[in-house]
Amino acid sequence: MIEVKDIYKSFGENQVLKGISAEFKPGVTTLIIGGSGSGKTTLMKNMVGLHEPDSGKVLYDGRDFTSMNTHERIPIRKEIGMLFQGSALFDSMTVEKNIRFPLDMFTEQSKAEKLDRINFVLERVNLAGKNKLYPTELSGGMKKRVGIARAIAMNPKYLFCDEPNSGLDPKSSIMIDELIKEITEEYNITTAVVTHDMNSVMGIGDHIIFLHQGKKWWEGSNKEITSTDNQELNDFVFATKLMETLLKK
């Protein structure tokens, strides 16, 4: 479990996170939603150490990550998989080399062991045999799947995904969502997903955290989200759906 405890974060005068507390449980995909600029990505960056909170703590299964120095954080970092916006694959490397990258960085595995792991994760994301292709030869959805394969290559306990559906058509989006949810449940991963996408919310939102004005404004499941009387959340859900409908026309 990841526990976020009373996190505050400002950039100059701009107070972005104003006392956020939340729990992220193993085997559950927790979605972080909210309007543009509400602090979703900032929260995630504070959780993984890409930003340091001004105050508050992040605990990984009871281990106080925030108080650790860079060296002390290494064991936890090895347990974290990340899927960034736009997949962030290295274009000059084949699919296989992209996935091997964290294994080279963080493990002492033999070449054969690494190849076994690469083939295993490629198969898991339905890309068996695509080892020698370059990212430029893949569709957007395939790139995301390679990104997921790389994120799970290290067998992570914690998985962070920032807008995993950005730039994908609806069908590919659903595939990526389902893959993230399946992997989370299969390997009991503690997964946090930042998303704008109401389809994702309805599809995989077992647990949803809604940020508004720097605070955790609402928390619940996708079943509860449709019947909430929280005005700001209703505005967000309605605006997103309306936008989608308008964009499709």
Residues that bind ligand ATP (CB under 6 A): 11, 14, 16, 34, 36-42, 196
Q: Closer to ligand ATP by CB, 36 or 227: give it.
A: 36
211 near 39, Cβ under 8 Å? Answer: yes
Residue closer to ligand ATP by CB (options 98, 173) is: 173
Residue closer to ligand ATP (CB basis): 154 or 209? 209
Q: Which two tokens stand for residue 194?
A: 């930042």
> Measured from the CB of residue 43, what is the shortest distance to ligand ATP in angstroms?
7
Q: Which is nearer to ligand ATP, 32 or 142 (CB)?
A: 32
CB 10 to ligand ATP: min, Å: 9
What sign results for the dihedral spanned by CA atoms 76, 78, 81, 82?
positive
Closest Cα partner for 39 from 210, 164, 232? Answer: 210
CB of 238 to ligand ATP, least distance (A): 17
To ligand ATP, the closest distance from the beta carbon of 197 in angstroms equals: 11
Residue 38 or 191: the one with the smaller Cβ distance to ligand ATP is 38
Min dist. Cβ of residue 219 to ligand ATP (A): 16
Nearer to ligand ATP, 94 or 165 (CB): 165
Min dist CB 230 to ligand ATP, Å, is 18
Q: How far is the CB of 215 from ligand ATP (least distance, A)?
A: 13
State the DSSP string of the chain.
-EEEEEEEEEETTEEEEEEEEEEE-TT-EEEEEESTTSSHHHHHHHHHTSS--SEEEEEETTEESTTS-HHHHHHHHTTEEEE-TT----TTS-HHHHHHHHHHHH----HHHHHHHHHHHHHHTT-TT-TT--GGGS-HHHHHHHHHHHHHHT--SEEEEESTTTT--HHHHHHHHHHHHHHHHHTT-EEEEE---HHHHHHH-SEEEEEETTEEEEEE-HHHHTT---HHHHHHHHHHHHHHHHHH-
Given the complex with ligand ATP, which of 29 and 46 has the nearer CB atom? 46
